[in-house]
Structure 1
Amino acid sequence: MVEQSPEFVQLLTPDGVRVANPDCDSWVADITGEQLAALYEDMRVVRRIDTEATALQRQGELGLWPPLLGQEAAQIGSSRALRDDDFIFPSYRENAVAYVRGVPFADIVRVWRGNAQSGWDPYKHQLAAPNIIIGAQTLHAVGWAVGAKHDGVDSVAITYFGDGATSEGDVNEAMVFAASFQAPVVFFCQNNHWAISEPVGLQAVGSIAGRAPGFGIPSMRVDGNDVLAVIAATRIALDRARRGEGPTFIEAVTYRMGPHTTADDPTRYRDKSELEAWKLKDPILRLKRLLDSLGLLTPELEARTQAKEDSVAAELRAGCIGMPDPAPLTVFDNVYSTPHATLDRERDKYAAYLSSFDGAASSDTSTDAPAGGRS
C-alpha cells in the first residue's frame, strides 16, 4: 500500500490569490509589501541571468548551461530564508542561490566557460562549488551539519537536489546519517518532474516527501512555484534544526520549463501540452498578480526591475566574454589545502613540458612552422 502523501502547502494560487494556512501563515507574517517587491525583482533578475547565459552558450561563449527556468521561486524563496552563517551545498542548477549569496556574475558562469574547476570561494559565500555528481552534495551537507553541531553553533546546512537524485544511494545514505545523528540539515528537493528525460512518476510511485519519514525525518510538500510557501517551509525547517530537532525534508513541487541543459532537447520526450499547463503556474506571474492586487505593481517598480535586469545581463555578458583564459599551471592550484610532494613533482614536470615548446620554437629556423607546433 502506498503511504499517504504529506499535505500540499500553498499560500499563493497561480492567480495570485493569497490563501490562509494556519500552520504556515505566522512564518511569513513579517513579509512586507516592500519585501514582496524585492522577491519579485529577485526572480525577474535570475530569470534574465538564465536567459542571457543560455544565449551565451548558443553563441559559443559557454560550453554548457543548466537552465533554471520555472524554478525561480523554489531557489529564491529558500535561499532568502537563510542566515549568512548557514552553509549551502548545491547541485549544478542553483544559479539563483548563487545570485542571492552575492557571487559575482562572471563567477557564476566561469565553470561553464571551462575557465575554472570552481567559480567562487566557498567560504566567502558559504556556498559550496556546484556539484555535478548527482546527489553527492547531500553527504557533504550532513558532514558539515554534524560538525556544526559538535561546535555548538546553531548554523544549519541546506542541500539542494532534484527528484532524480532521490534514487541515488548517496542521498539515501545521507538521510540515514542525518537522522541517526540528528544533524541540523535541510534536504531541499526541487521536484521539477524530469530527471533529464525520465518523468518523476517512473521512479516515485507516491510523493517524494513521503519517503523521508521512513528514515525518521519529518517532511513537507510545498508548491515550489509559490515563493511564500517555500519561505514558510524553509523557515520551519531551519527553526527545527536550530532548536536541535534534527533534519527536515522539503519537496518543492515545481517544473523545469526549459531543457535539462543546453545540450538537451525536451521536445523529444515531453508533450507540449504539459509545458503549456505549467506555464499557467509560472512563479513570477503569480507574484506579479499578487503585487497588482495589493496596488504595489507600480510603473516605478517595473522600470526599476527592468533596469536591474538589463544591468545584470550586460555585466554578465561582459564578464563572460572578457574572462581571461587561465594559465596552464593553475590546473594544480587548490587541489590540496596543504603542500603535497606528488602534486609538486607533477607541476614541475608539466612546467618543463610547457617550456619545451618555447625551446623548440626558438631553435626552429623554419619560417613555415608555427611556434610551439610540435610535441
Structure 2
Amino acid sequence: MLQVALVFGFWVNYGVNENISPEGNKQWHIPVAVQFVPAGVLVICMIPMIESPRWLASRGRLQDARKSLSWVRNLPEDHPYISTELSRIETAIEEELRSTGQAAGWKQMYKELFQAGVRGRVALACGLVVFQNFTGINAINYYSPTIFKSIGFTGTSVGLLATGIFGIVKMVATMLYAFLLVDRVGRRPLLLVGGVGAGFSMFYLAGYSKISGSFGAVPPMDAGARCAVAMVYIYSFFYGFSWNGIPWLFTSEVLPTRVRTLGMAFCICLQWLTQFVVVYSLPHMVLGITYGTFLFFGSCTVLAIIFAWLFIPETKGVQLEDMDLLFGRDVPIRANQATASYNEAIAAKLAAESHGREKEMVLAEVERA
C-alpha cells in the first residue's frame, strides 16, 4: 500500500504541475490535501482489525487467541492444527518468561532487548534498515527530478513524468516481492540478487555522469543517456523486490514477542533518522561531489550485500516460535553457521517429538491390552 501511495503522489505532482497555474497556492494545497484520503482510509480499515494471537496469548487471553488464530488460518477453532499451533505459542511464551523473569514493564523490556540472544537480532535489524536507506532509494524518491536532470532530463514536467514511471516500476517490483517471491525464493537470496542489480545500476550512473559531464552541462540524448534512464528504472525494480520490503519483514519476525513492539520502534526510529540524513545530505552531495553521489550509494550497496551475505540467515519457513533456535544465546552470529545450528536443532526437535509420539502409541497399546 505504501508503494501505491507513492505512485499516486508522483502522478498527482505531475498532474498538478501540468494543469494548475503556479500562481497562487493551489499547486501545493492539492497535493497536501490528497494525502488525507489514504490516511483516513487507513484509520477506518484499522478499526475491524483483530489482535495478534501471540499478543493475546501473552496476556493470558487464550480463548481470544484461539479465535484470532482460527480467523487467520481460516480453520475451525477446534481444528487440531489450531490447537497444536496455540500450544507452541504458549510454550514459547513460557520459555521467554523463564529466561527473562516474570517481571513486566518498560524497564524490564529494555533489559530484555539488550540481553544475549536478543541484542544480536536488534543489531541485524538495525543494520538492514540503515542499508535500506544508504542504498540510495530515498535520494531518488525525494529528489528524482534532480536525479533525472543530472543525467540529461531537463524541464520540470519531464522530470516529474520520469519520476511517475519510476514509481510504477517500483510498485510492480514490490508487488512481485509480496505476492510471489518472498515466500518462494526466500529473504536472503532476494537481498543478494537485488543488491547486485541496484549496485550495478548506481555504478553505471556514476560512470555515465563522469564521462558525459552531465552535472555541468546537459548531455546529448544518445544511447548512453537512454541507458542511464533505464538504469534508474532497473535500480527501482531490483530494489523494489529486495531491500524495499525485506528489512521490515525481517525486523518484525525475528524479535521475541515480549520485546517486539519496543524493538520495532527502535529500528523504525533509526530508519527515519538515516532517511533524514540521506535526504538532508543529497542536495549538498549533488553540488559538492556530483557523480560521486552515485558512486557513494553504489559503494554502500556493496557493503549491504556483504552484510547480508555474512550475517543475515534465511528465515523463510522458520516459525516465530523457532526463531530462538536461529538467533539464540549460543548461536553463532555468522549466517551460514547459524543456519547449520538451526537445522541441527530442528532435526533434534523433530526426533524428540517423533520419539514422544511413539512412546505415547506404545503406552496406548499397553493400556488397551
Q: Shorter-chain TM-score: what band?
A: under 0.3
More strand by share: 1
Q: TM-score, normalised by structure 2?
A: 0.24
Higher Cα radius of gyration: 2
- TM-score normalized with structure 1 length: 0.24
